[in-house]
Chains A and B, each alone.
Chain A
Amino acid sequence: MIEFRIDRRAGLPTYLQIVQQTRQALLLGRLRVGDQLPTAREVVASTGINPNTVLKAYRELDREGLVETRVGAGTFVIAAPGRAVAAQESEAGEALGAWLRQAKASGLDRAEVEALTKAWIEDIYRGER
């Protein structure tokens, strides 16, 4: 059973942290197809976050096709992120790593890199939450 850890100081909204951690668990094989995700009550009892946040995260995962909520039974994993998706993510990850090494070599410090990255993300993913 997966245990969610909420980092209150991270800039990332709580529900996204749950989505993220679920995806990670699926990628690493800690969660498999057919496993049940913790109920909203269980997550709330261990983290103290608003139950709606949990439901929002599960809805997002449902939207991405990774889980399915069955009324009266719970929320279950129905698909692991496809190999293709995993591959895409690792490909993008590689490219990002290469670019970062280049940026660092050309003298940009961490704050500048973060600001630059954020500005591009805002531009490219504008309107998406």
Chain B
Amino acid sequence: MWWVSWRQHRVQVMIALVVMAVVALAVLLFQLVLVSRLHALGCTVLTDPSECNSRAAMDAFDENTWHLLRAVLVATPIVLGVFLGAPLFPREFDQRTEVFALTQSVGRRRWWTVKVTVVGAPLVLGLLGLGFGTQWCDGTTWFTARGAMDDGTFQVRSIMPATFGLLALAVAVTAGVVVRSLVGSLVAGLIVAAGVVVLIAFPLRSHLLPTSREITPVDAAAASPTTMPDPVGPYDPGSLYLASGLLDSNGDPISLNAISALCDPSMPPLPEGNPDQQDMDSYNDKYNKAWTQCQRDNGITRNYVDYVPAAMLWPMRGLVTGICVLLAALFLAAGAFRLRAAPRSSR
């Protein structure tokens, strides 16, 4: 059975591996170009932000290409998962070859399992390579190393591409079993897989773990530090920024609209007639002082930043992976159930 399945799907698997290799190569090339540019500028320790942060160095980092590559890295597991999973069964239903396959010595369950594994194992392994390779490449410069929890970085490093690829594969396989036509399965599989994966990978993952809140007094933020503090909490580029704002006297976040509602009435009126620049400057000064006073009077004296600490990276990865694996199992089970020995009225 393994030989037969490999023979059937080897071209597809090869194509997928080539695609992954090409993407990996693109990521590698970007890093090499960046590294050589930085070296040309005289930077030596590329991983230290204070060592290599001149204007020229900032320009050397091509942000647009960087974002494009990130998008490709996010899309790759989804597209490959659907490409490998969706045609798996429609191609058999098309020619009714499942009748041939199931009337030899192979049982339905074995046939099904081997097919999914023959395309699934190379996909997962390849994506693991891609994920860890990306992580290693990213680590070579501080530009690319920071922000482990950021959108566009969290989803493409370490085990995450493999996780999303597995889920996309499971969705697409089930789409193939349910929809049965090749084109239909590809379309349905792509839509559902993309939808499910993106939902989990982006909004859902941010809200899985307990959020930390850092509260600082409003006035303290006005002081400008002479040295950069050691990044900790919300200032750690490895943590995931969620939201920030002001807290009211009860300690609850209060929106700017609400503050406006409170304070607008006590703001100084606009100058009459045709004010000149000096008049406007003095007006703005009075306005700011009045605003700050109003906030103070209403007990709005604290800033907050909600974030998921950098230390939660692996718990987040673990939870997301757990959810994806569970969903993948459910989808595959549904597909297997649909494929059981039940009569189909169309022959």
- Direct A–B contact in the complex, CB atoms closer than 8 angstroms: no
